């Protein structure tokens, strides 16, 4: 295997992992506030189509990314109004949001099917990008840098800042947080919006960087994988990032294995990323204390303040 090929594989792994990282970090923040939003897939699809549409019609990819963020947030706001203000069931509303997002994105994107898009150029960091092997880590597209930055920022926010402490408190016991005078609904709404923005970014990454075009249902279940990664990473940003890389890595490697004609049935190889994720999930979940300490206790529970 040549060095160039190895570099190519590494690059595809990173680009496969980035949309998962965006979506799962956003969902992690949402879930840490105690809200389970199963609509990630739908928000991603909307982000992908709006991102592509805006970028295509304005010719400005940055505007497309902003459009995708806003589309994700609009979807999340819809979810927030329904579940937080009208106190609808979060699981049912999230599933509905996914179906709605997939359908609506197909409708909007109908005009863009088959239209070639302009990919986002990579940014090389001078000096560092010329290093051997690791140099490729500094020749990535700007959104990947953003995903890494968001992961670090979320980790810092959750565990080092007061706002993050309040967010975790709301997710642990909304009754107690309310008794202390925190606005549970407002905190949760902001967390849901952040999750939407991140899902929108994940969608934009798919339609503007990963495969610069629009095809219907191009999210291909990545929203569900992101949801699983949050649990797999026990609601810790660092672990979620590792999970995203692992899943991205195995899915790319199995593609290469299939291309090389390894004597294993292709169906098995296609199942490998899921299998690996499930196995690692089981192994991680064996540390009950860690899982208990980081699972938001109020996850999925609706809050109605008494007055």
Residues that bind another protein (CB under 8 A): 162, 165-166, 168-169, 172-173, 175-177, 179-182, 292-297, 307
| Residue that has been written with the tokens 């990314």 in this structure | 65
Complex with another protein: residue 113 or 160, whichever CB lies closer: 160
Residue entry with tokens 């939003």: 37
Cα distance between residue 78 and residue 75, in whole Å: 5
Q: Please state, in angstroms and rounded to a whole number, the distance separating the CA atoms of residues 42 and 97.
A: 6
* Helix/strand/coil for 140: strand
Chain mean position to CA 50: 17
We find the least distance from the C-beta atom of residue 295 to another protein, in angstroms, to be: 8
Min dist CB 127 to another protein, Å, is: 37
Nearer to another protein, 177 or 191 (CB): 177
Of 215 and 302, the one with the shorter C-beta distance to another protein is: 302
At its nearest, how many Å lie between another protein and the CB of residue 33?
Answer: 13
Spatial contact of 168 and 32, defined as CB atoms under 8 Å apart: yes
Please give the helix or strand (H or E) that residue 187 lies within, else none.
helix 184-205
| CB closer to another protein, 179 vs 260 | 179
Distance of closest approach, residue 67 Cβ to another protein, in angstroms: 36
CB closer to another protein out of 122 and 178: 178
What's the closest the beta carbon of residue 182 comes to another protein, in angstroms?
8
9 backbone dihedrals φ, ψ, rounded to 5°: -60, -45
Is residue 38 a contact partner of residue 94, using CB atoms and an 8 Å limit?
yes
């Amino acid at each position: 295997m040549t060095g160039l090929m190895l570099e190519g594989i590494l690059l595809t792994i990173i680009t496969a992992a980035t949309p998962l990282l965006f979506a799962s970090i956003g969902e992690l923040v949402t879930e840490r506030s105690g809200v389970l939003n199963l609509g990630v897939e739908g928000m991603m699809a909307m982000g992908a189509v709006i991102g592509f549409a805006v970028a295509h019609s304005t010719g400005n990819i940055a505007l497309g990314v902003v459009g995708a963020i806003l589309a994700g947030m609009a979807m999340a706001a819809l979810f927030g109004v329904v579940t937080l203000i009208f106190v609808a069931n979060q699981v049912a509303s999230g599933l509905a949001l996914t179906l709605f997002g997939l359908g609506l994105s197909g409708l909007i994107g109908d005009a863009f099917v088959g239209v070639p898009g302009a990919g986002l150029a990579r940014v090389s960091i001078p000096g560092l990008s010329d290093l051997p092997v690791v140099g490729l880590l500094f020749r990535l597209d700007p959104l990947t840098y953003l995903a890494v930055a968001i992961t670090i920022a979320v980790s810092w926010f959750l565990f080092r800042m007061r706002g993050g402490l309040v967010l975790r408190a709301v997710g642990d016991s909304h009754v107690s947080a309310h008794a202390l005078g925190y606005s549970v609904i407002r905190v949760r709404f902001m967390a849901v919006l952040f999750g939407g923005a991140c899902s929108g970014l994940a969608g934009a990454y798919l339609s503007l960087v990963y495969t610069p075009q629009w095809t219907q249902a191009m999210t291909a279940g990545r929203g569900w994988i992101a949801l699983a990664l949050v649990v797999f990473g026990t609601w810790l940003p660092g672990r979620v990032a590792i999970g995203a890389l692992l899943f991205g890595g195995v899915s790319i490697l199995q593609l290469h294995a299939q291309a090389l004609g390894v004597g294993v049935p292709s169906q098995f190889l296609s199942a490998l990323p899921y299998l690996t994720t499930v196995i690692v999930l089981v192994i991680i979940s064996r540390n009950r204390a860690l899982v208990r300490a980081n699972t938001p206790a109020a996850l999925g529970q609706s809050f109605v303040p008494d007055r």
